[in-house]
Amino acid sequence: MEFLKDHSIQNELLLIFISVLLGIFIGTEREYRNKSAGLRTFILVCFGSCLFTILSIKIGVANPDRLAANIITGIGFLGAGVIFKGDNKIDGITTATTIFATASIGMAVGSGYVYLSLLGTVLVLIVLNSLTYFERFIDKKHKIREYKIAVTTYHDVKHCEELFQKNNLKFLLSKQQYTQGNLATTWIISGNSQHHEALMKNLMEDEKIIAYQF
């Protein structure tokens, strides 16, 4: 009986070790990309989810799905902490969803589904790495930028529109502000990356454009 107990403890320690190892794999990728949640966060998420799952099995919770729901709720609060608003987009969503996926991997390890957790880790790493190139391809073909362009008169706004059209870019005037002889305009511009590069060259060479930034 004592042998069986020791054997059980060894299995649980092995599962915990595996969860830490898988957390290292995913955390290393996020750390390498300098994301808001790094190596230690993903190790602890995977380890914690694994340990909670092991404890629920040992304690004998009547409804195991309740524990899973509580883990997901806790991870939801953690994920919300890494999401923040950037200049013209929301950042951190990928990291937040990676935390969510890592928790599910930890739960799979804690439940004894090691092969399933290994497959999940491989898929997470594939999504985070391989699909990045596909995202860059899409972004190159359809890049969206927020330009802030300063001109002198309202008539120059039409001139800006002509520059956008000349470079085959779609545009939307989102904001304008007049201050002491300068008219500051904010544009949402979308189109091919090469067309954006051509537009920047036109803006620098154009005498009617006082300043611009994106």
pLDDT in tens, 23-67: 999 888 888 877 766 788 888 899 988 988 888 877 765 666 666
Please tell me whether residues 85 and 147 are part of one structural domain.
no
Q: Is residue 201 part of a domain?
A: yes
Model confidence at 3: pLDDT above 50 = no
Predicted confidence at residue 119, as pLDDT, reads: 93
pLDDT at position 1 over 60: no
Q: How many Å apart are CA 63 and CA 103, to the nearest integer?
A: 19
Confidence of residue 175 (pLDDT cuts 50, 70, 90): confident
pLDDT of the residue at 135: 74
pLDDT in the model for residue 2: 38
| Phi, psi angles (nearest 5°) of residue 192 | -65, 145
End position of a domain, from candidates 139, 161, 177:
139
Which of 139, 154, 184 terminates a domain? The answer is 139
For residue 141, give every residue at least 6 positions away whose Cβ sits within 8 Å of its Cβ, in sequence order, or none: 192, 193
Q: Is residue 8 classed exposed, middle or buried when 0-12, 13-18 and 19+ CB atoms within 10 A define those classes?
A: exposed
User: Which spans in 92-176 are helix H?
Assistant: 93-110, 114-141, 155-166
**Residue 81 and residue 109 in one domain:** yes
**113, 139, 165: which is the final residue of a domain?**
139
Tell me the two tokens of residue 49: 């989810």
- The reply to whether 132 and 180 lie within a common domain is no
Is the same domain home to 41 and 106? yes
Residue 166 lies in a domain: yes
Per the structure, how many domains does the chain have? Answer: 2
pLDDT tens digits along 73-129: 777 777 777 777 665 566 778 888 888 899 989 999 988 898 999 999 999 988 888
Kindly report, residue by residue over 178-211, the tens digit of the pLDDT.
877 788 888 898 888 888 888 888 888 888 888 8
pTM metric for this prediction: 0.67
What was the pLDDT predicted at 7?
A: 47
Its domain, for residue 120, covers 10-139
Residues 152 and 191 occupy one common structural domain = yes
